[in-house]
Structure 1
């Protein structure tokens, strides 16, 4: 990531599709030290690797970018040619323009709240397959446990239970945008309650929209009214036993303690 990158916008500058920041770090170090050994170490190349990348670059530019200086009282070394210096100067100018471009796009992104929120959600890396975006509808604190209800865009709600200490650290407040994270292995699918009621706080009714069968288990996608999809990891035996198939109504059930809440700082 270049130094001018926005947290949500990243761009890598390359010349001719091959010459990247690491290569120009080599040129800059070579201009500074006059030693290919030192420049290679600074840019993370072996000595042989540095010569190979220079040779490849010179094949593109069709002109020498560095040459070996003759030995003498000051000793030998390797220096940039005039063409190498010009290429390095051009890179630095383009890099400054590239950084300015990213700042310009970041300023535009700030005027697009929906897109900005989408990119922020995408930037979070987690193994939890289920990431429900919504806003905190209410917070119910207790001596040791606090429950937080997140209203989803589709009209459903997901309830998370956490320690009161964790809720205080997150400073959860009604109206905050939040992500409710649930592992697919924590989701139980129910196709028939048989007259029973379950204690699990979260029970989301929808329609099976996807069955991806694996060697041992399957991933089941359950689409809720409004389009939100809940993914459950179910053993193949359970898939066969329930005869799960696309178009079948089912309810995704998971405990409030299985929900991890994420809010932006």
Structure 2
């Protein structure tokens, strides 16, 4: 198993807190070219920057890492000292050991289904504040639009409306694990329906658990039975107008077309 299967399972190898992969790319290129100018370009340093990082490394190792020759038949150049060669060789061995360690941990994660699935879910990066994990409980396909219901762990249902073409591409099916993604700006909070019913498919009742006020907009967290939290981005004037406070009952409302569905490839 490759550690690429677990984007969160990463580790940066660094020696002395400062010598990282880029520095050792510089040493490797220097060993190959014999030219600090060429090596600096290869590793993404300026010529001056390369000398500065080499000076910093020497301050850590207390040993010369490069030997600069001037003039002569060969026209001069820069080469690694014995200490520089030894440091580069040690880095390469440590890299191999580090990769083997990550591979071993990834293999262990594969034997922990719940933790493995959790890490894979966490690896997804999105601006949507609301990411509801559940399983698809129903799929209603139409000529152009397909409606998908996702059952959450707390017993709630989130309904997504997507094109039938997209549903076919995702190969959605009942029982499949899915994430329902909803931007916080798409969530409307209702504290009193006043006898009216709304057309929005998703209406999740819960308790206000946090109110983060801003100068113009505020974030309001609504905790549903079971612990799932819905975050709504509303104007601060709306917070005042509704008198939103922690502990207050409210309902998070959002339309089905505002839900983006994600399933594992």
2:34 aligns with 34
Identify the residue that residue 182 of structure 1 maps to in structure 2: 182
Cα distance in 1, alignment partners of residues 241 and 26 from structure 2? 62
Structure 2 partner of 1:133: 133
Give the Cα–Cα distance (whole angstroms) in 1 for the partners of residues 242 and 42 of structure 2. 61
Report the Cα distance in structure 1 between the residues aligned to 2:234 and 2:59, rounded to whole angstroms.
Answer: 56
- SS of residue matched to 1:106: helix
Please state whether the residue corresponding to 2:162 is helix, strand or coil: strand
8 Å contact from structure 2 (residues 3, 9) kept in 1? no
CA gap 1:4/1:134 in 2 versus in 1, 3 angstroms: closer
Q: Which runs of 5+ in 2 are unaligned?
A: none
The offset of 1:239, in angstroms, is 1.4
Please, what TM-score do these two structures have when normalized by structure 2? 0.96
Cα deviation, 1:233-257, whole Å, max 9, x if unaligned, reads 1112221121111111111111000
Q: 1:57 to 1:115 in 2, by over 3 A?
A: same
Aligned to 1:243: 243
Q: Distance in 1 between matches of 2:150 and 2:162?
A: 13
Is the Cα contact below 8 Å between 2:67 and 2:80 reproduced in 1?
A: yes
Counterpart for residue 171 of structure 1: 171
SS in 1 for 2:143: coil
Measured in 2, the distance between the counterparts of 1:104 and 1:138 equals: 39
RMSD: 1.3
TM-score (norm 1): 0.96
CA offsets 1:80-138 (integer angstroms, 9 cap, x no match): 00000000000000000000001001001111122222222221111111110111111
Aligned length: 263
Deviation (angstroms), 1:49: 0.8
What do residues 20-78 of structure 1 show as CA deviations (whole Å, max 9, x unaligned)?
00000000000001111111111111111111111110111111000112432222100
